[in-house]
Amino acid sequence: MGLMTFLRNRAGFIIIGFIGFAIVAFLLGDAINVGKPFWAESQRVVGTIDGESIDIEDFGKKVEQSQAQLQQQYGGGSNPQMQAMAVENVWNGEVASVLLSKEYSRLGLAVSSDELFELLQGKNPSPLIVQYFGNPQTGQVDRAAVISSLKQQSKNPELKAQWDLLQLEVEKQALQEKYGNLIKNSVYVTSLEANDEYVNRNKLASFNYVALDYASIADATLKLTDADYTAYYNENKKRFDNPVETRTFEYVSFSAEPTKADTTAIQAQVTKLAADFKTAKNDSLFSAINSDVKVPYTYISKGQLDPAVDSVVFNLPAGSFYGPVLSGNSFKLAKVVDARFSPDSVKASHILIDAARAGGVDKAMKQADSLKTLIQNGASFATLAAQYSVDGSKDKGGDLGTFSRGQMVPEFENAAFNGSVGDLKVVRSQFGVHVIKIEKQIGSSKVVKLAYIEKSLAPSSKTKDAAYKKATTFLSQVKGDNFAAIAQKNGYTVAIADKVAGSQGYAPGLDNPRPIIKDAYEAEAGDVLGQVYTMDNAFVVARLTQISPKGLLPLEVVKKDIEPMVRQAVKAKMLTEKMNSAVQGAANINQVAQKVAKPVVPVENIVFANPVVPGVGQENKLIGSVFGSSVAKVSAPVAGERGVYVFSVKGFSAPAPLANVFKQKETMLLSVAQRSLGSAFQALIDKSEIKDNRVKFY
């Protein structure tokens, strides 16, 4: 509504350094998932970034704000995944803020007072100023409104605090843009690179090949040796550089899903509830008391309900009753109180009177009625809004812009959507007393007013107790290495959560993994975690199986993981020897094919930039070798992704000379510059000491 409302609703993002701004959003990504050692840190420190400590109290407030913002954005209540996302957003913001601030200082980047004035009030305002003070249709900023709001700071401490915060973010955004431009302007593309890229995308190659598939050697016939593992490990060490410490745990989940008996019992309850609902005298009160899911008692548009209900109720007349129907994991009942056609959106202005300041609701209502009378007699709504409204929209004459259903509190919404253009209405809401002017109504579609009840299909206490008893019995039996054996003996399935990071908000098969992850980071490899964990409809017992520290992982840690790759490397060696024998003395590709009893496969018009072999898949080594070979020559064996290949190039088709080198360079530069931003920020992270203790607290 106003600047204060705008900033208050977005404080979670603003406080953490405007993460949504494009450069930072691009730079961060997954790059900041760093490891933890945490045991030597203060109990109040959630982490240290290049020597700067992040206090848990301040960090926690930002997480709450970010989580509230996510709930507003995605809807629904808080859940472990949403909290993990909020924690990650805030942490990424802290890392970006600390590292980039130091880099700005080192480079001498700053925003002068003249630049700041231009960003706030000038002809080229900051995107943040445009976002609030700009016209949604034209994008033009109302400079008069900006100046007016700035002048009112001296009379409104809260507004001044919000402007101070906004100014800080405008400066941050400007610095981010300067830094981004500095990085972008430091990279270039040569004419040779432009021509190479053009050729790689347009030069065509046609060739014949013979392949020996890895699948032709049965896995069971191979006996891998320590030397095989060591050879593969030494040749591929870069693959085993672990960017973040992770934990792997195995677990058994004991289901507490509703049984058939539970479903039958709930259905009987819902059937009785439906009978009472049909005869209830106060529909809204009855539904509010009995529903597990609260649906506002107001008009709603099609598409807002569960499809099983939504597809039916909009075709029913007022007074109809629908349900109970089982859809998803709950029974639904609905009573159609009213149905009508209503605007899709409304443009309105308002004057908000604070009942407490006015001396009570009655006095606030009288003041609102007086203002309504003045407006009806010709007084300026905008002038009265600037004088009497306590809402931030008063700086724009009370203008709230255009909004659809569901964006305002029910009392305000009903007045705006049920009235007519030009109406002045006085309504009371949880925020105070409103004088509403309906400026415009757009579109028209059917809406319904429902009394709605939803009863979840939940397990009975008997079902949950039985599952919990199984879990506790299992926990008492397992001792480290016998975890899998005891599970197998009892017919339980052991699941694996592999390489889980300390800040991770998800794990396969678990809807609330954070408690397990926190305990796993305090345990030793082989420990059975000491409690039964509660999921939505299950109980879980877990055991930590592996700790993968940050840095180069030793062979013994990755040995099991690399077994398929080692097996393929051994097969590649065997098939390469077979192909070498076939190539010796062969004058052409057909003779090679005869020796290995495999067909010659033709391939036409392949480009280097798209190394996909039809019917096979992506084979980078094969296509790269083709474009480096001479025509009609039988190649040496090439070990690819799916087999070992020998090929012979039939010919190349060169493209016409590049007509516009400048345009090609310009196109490539966009991609190179974008990658350079990520590389620059990653370099800042790599050279900084970052300790992440979040797993202690979340």
Residue at a domain's end among 282, 312, 342? 342
Cis upstream peptide for 459 (omega within 30°) = no
Question: Is 95 found in the same domain as 62?
Answer: yes
Decide if pLDDT at 602 tops 90. yes
Q: How confident is the model at residue 469 (pLDDT cuts 50, 70, 90)?
A: very high
Do the domain assignments include residue 454?
no
Identify whether residues 497 and 532 lie together within a single domain: yes
Are 7 and 128 in contact by the 8 Å Cβ rule? The answer is: no
Last residue of some domain: 493, 518, 549?
549
Asked if the model's pLDDT at residue 17 lies above 80, the reply is no
- The pLDDT, as a whole number, for residue 301 is 84
Q: What is the mean pLDDT of residues 446-467?
A: 92
- The reply to whether 451 falls in a domain is no
Residue type, 432: G
268: Cβ contacts below 8 Å, ≥ 6 apart: none
| 8 Å CB contact between 539 and 468 | yes
Is residue 137 very low, low, confident or very high in pLDDT (cuts 50, 70, 90)? Answer: low
Residue 664, in any domain of the structure: no
Identify the band that residue 42 occupies on the pLDDT scale cut at 50, 70 and 90. Answer: low
Bridge partners of 500, per DSSP, are 247
Kindly tell me the burial class for residue 256, based on how many C-beta atoms sit within 10 Å of its own C-beta (0-12, 13-18, 19 or more). Answer: buried
- φ, ψ at 58 (rounded to 5°): -65, -45
- Contacts of 635 by beta carbon, 8 Å cutoff, 6+ apart: 625, 629, 645, 646, 647, 648
Regarding whether 122 and 102 lie in a shared domain, the answer is yes
> Tokens for 312?
């039916």
Has residue 566 got a pLDDT over 90?
A: yes
| pLDDT for residue 357 | 84
pLDDT at 11 over 50: no
- The predicted pLDDT at position 536 comes to 87
Token pair recorded at residue 646: 């020998």
Mean pLDDT of 5-30: 41
Kindly give the residue spans of alpha helices, DSSP state H, lying in 16-156: 22-28, 56-74, 80-107, 113-121, 127-133, 143-151
Domain-ending residue, one of 549, 581, 605: 549
- 637, 576 Cβ separation under 8 angstroms: yes
* Residue 127: exposure state from Cβ atoms within 10 A (0-12, 13-18, ≥19): middle
Q: What is the pLDDT of residue 2?
A: 45
Residue 108 confidence class, pLDDT cut points 50, 70, 90: very high
* 3-class DSSP string for 53-89: EEEHHHHHHHHHHHHHHHHHHHCCCCCHHHHHHHHHH
Q: What is the pTM of this model?
A: 0.65
Q: What angle do CA 435, 438, 443 make, to 5 degrees?
A: 150
- Sign, CA dihedral 499-500-506-509, equals positive
Give residue 24's region: left, alpha or beta (phi > 0; psi -120 to 50): alpha
Tell me what the mean pLDDT of segment 310-330 comes to: 90
Looking at the fold, whether 301 and 413 belong to one and the same domain comes out as no
Q: Are residues 357 and 484 in the same domain?
A: no
Q: 415 and 335, same structural domain? A: no
CATH number of the domain at 477, please: 3.10.50
Residue span of the structural domain in which 358 resides = 345-442
What pLDDT is attached to residue 291? 92
HEC secondary structure over 624-644: HHHCCCCECCECCCEECCCEE
Domain count of the fold of the chain:
5
Q: Looking at the predicted structure, is the pLDDT value of residue 32 above 50?
A: no
**Whether residue 34 sits in one domain with residue 51:** yes
Q: Are residues 409 and 320 part of one domain?
A: no
Q: What is the pLDDT of residue 470?
A: 97
Q: Say which DSSP state 528 is in.
A: B
CB-side neighbour CA atoms (13 Å) of 334: 28
Q: Would you say 603 and 206 are in contact if contact means Cβ atoms under 8 Å apart?
A: yes
678 in a domain, yes or no? no
Query: What's the pLDDT at 158?
Result: 83
User: 176 and 67 in one domain?
Assistant: yes
Q: How far is CA 266 from the centre of its chain?
A: 36
- Helices (H) and strands (E) counted in the chain, each on its own, are 26, 23
pLDDT value at residue 136? 63
Percent of the chain with pLDDT over 90: 63
Residue 270: what pLDDT? 93
Query: DSSP code of 397?
Result: T
Least confident window among 32-41, 47-56, 161-170, 344-353:
32-41
In 10 A of CB 64, how many CB atoms? 15
**pLDDT per position as a tens digit, 213-264:** 999 999 999 999 999 999 999 999 999 999 889 999 999 999 999 999 999 9
Instruction: Of 84-98, 350-364, 415-429, 563-577, give the range with the top mean pLDDT.
Output: 563-577
- pLDDT tens track for 72-86: 777 666 777 788 889
565 token code pair: 């790759």
Tell me what the mean pLDDT of segment 471-475 comes to. Answer: 97
Residues 6+ apart with CB under 8 A from 448: 299, 300, 313, 314, 336, 337, 338, 339
Asked whether 256 and 459 are in contact (CB, 8 A), the reply is yes
Give domain status of residue 435, yes or no: yes
For residue 431, what are the β-bridge partners? none
Q: What is the mean pLDDT of the chain?
A: 88
- Nearest 10 degrees: Cα torsion 67, 69, 74, 79: 10
Phi-psi domain of 303 (left: phi exceeds 0; alpha: psi -120 through 50; beta: other) = left
- Residue carrying structure tokens 């040779």: 192
Compute the distance between CA of residue 644 and CA of residue 217 in angstroms, rounded to an integer: 12
Range 215-218, long-range pairs (CB < 8 A, 24+ positions): 215/643, 216/575, 216/643, 217/571, 217/574, 217/575
pLDDT digits 0-9 by tens, 501-535: 998 888 989 988 999 999 999 999 999 999 999 99
Are residue 503 and residue 530 in the same domain, yes or no? yes
CATH of the domain at 367: 3.10.50.40
pLDDT confidence of residue 76: 65
- Find the largest Cα–Cα distance for the chain: 106
List pLDDT tens digits, range 347-403. Answer: 999 999 988 888 889 999 999 999 999 999 999 999 999 889 988 788 888 999 999
461/459 Cα distance (integer angstroms): 7
Lowest mean pLDDT among 270-274, 308-312, 607-611: 308-312
Tokens coding 323 = 């349900």
Bigger pLDDT: 25 or 575? Answer: 575
Q: Which residue has the tokens 């008893």?
A: 469
Helices 113-121 and 143-151: angle between axes, nearest 10 degrees: 120
The Cα–Cα gap between 503 and 517 comes to 9
pLDDT of residue 36: 40
> Residues 93, 7: one domain?
yes
Tell me, what's the pLDDT at 6?
40
Q: What is the pLDDT of residues 287-296, one digit of tens each?
A: 989 999 887 7
Length of the chain: 698
pLDDT at 374: 93
Query: Given a cut of 90, is residue 306 above it in pLDDT?
Result: no
Same domain for 127 and 226, yes or no, is no
